[in-house]
Structure 1
């Protein structure tokens, strides 16, 4: 009897993909957190630290530590904001671009390993289903939750 549920399987697949990506990323001496900073920053160059922390869904203090290490390594640059001295803007350095390309390559390698025996049709179908699930959850997350289902009167607030 199979006791797998959709949530557990999705979580496990995502965890294993991250683990495999990290195995490849060790060759570049880069953590997954640092890769996420590089990836987001490549799309949002010139963003301020608080904005990047929000995009990454991490605390500002955590991002500051990551950025300090990455700046020491010559991958990111902090520049003064032109009108607000309290905030700095973030940019990739030229040294970050080859590393970013390498990380994209190992991301693709990880995806290939994940989907090795899937046909193009199966791949497209799975992606379609997952995108639909994401849309449903985005819509659901936009709705208020009054009471968990099946718990009428059982869960006390406060």
Structure 2
């Protein structure tokens, strides 16, 4: 099978997955970047703007706009760092946590539904293949 066909099929799967997960994000009026930042904060609460920008691979100025909008919507809390008052640390608010839990539940449901068509062996093969592809791209 040609690589370009595999790549196109992979891209189609990715678009369909995004379309299904986008429904929840659109209902909540979040951009892809805002949603990604909330998911990141759920795993790494208390990080600074610089640390979050590095983790997201975006400029601090771009992140600043995301943080501002999410803060205005009440999804995150800013706290001044106790050891270095020049640094602000970011945390999810209760509203932010509720949103992340709902997104995680939705993603789990979509994943269960999508992968129900595969056998255990096929899931293991797919997992192995995805890890190989991720490793290949990370090496570049």
TM over 0.5: yes
Higher deviation after alignment, 129-138 or 51-60: 129-138
Tell me the residue number matched to 1:106.
106
Question: Gaps (5+ residues) in structure 1?
Answer: 142-158
1:79-118 equivalences in 2 (<5 Å): 79-118=79-118
Q: Which residue of 2 aligns with 1:26?
A: 26
CA distance in 2, matches of 1:56, 1:11: 21
Instruction: Quote the offset at 1:3 in angstroms.
Output: 7.9
Distance 1:23 1:37 in 2: 18
Instruction: String of CA shifts for 1:113-149, please: whole Å, max 9, x gaps.
Output: 43342222212211111112322443x32xxxxxxxx
Q: Which aligned pairs between 1:17-96 and structure 2 lie closer than 5 A? A: 17-96=17-96
Larger radius of gyration: 1
| 1:5 aligned residue | 5
Assess if the C-alpha contact under 8 Å between 1:17 and 1:114 holds in 2: no
- In structure 2, C-alpha distance between the alignment counterparts of 1:137 and 1:32, rounded to whole Å: 22
- Select between 96-105 and 53-62 the one with higher mean Cα deviation: 53-62
User: What is residue 147 of structure 1 aligned with on the other side?
Assistant: none
Give distance in 1, aligned partners of 2:136 and 2:116. 28
SS at structure 1 position matched to 2:118: coil
Structure 2: which 5+ residue stretches go unaligned? none
TM-score, normalised on structure 2?
A: 0.84
Tell me, in whole angstroms, the C-alpha distance in 2 between the residues paired with 1:29 and 1:120.
36
Aligned positions, number: 140
Q: Please give the alpha-carbon distance, in whole angstroms, between the structure 2 residues aligned to 1:37 and 1:7.
A: 27
TM superposition shift of 1:112:
3.2
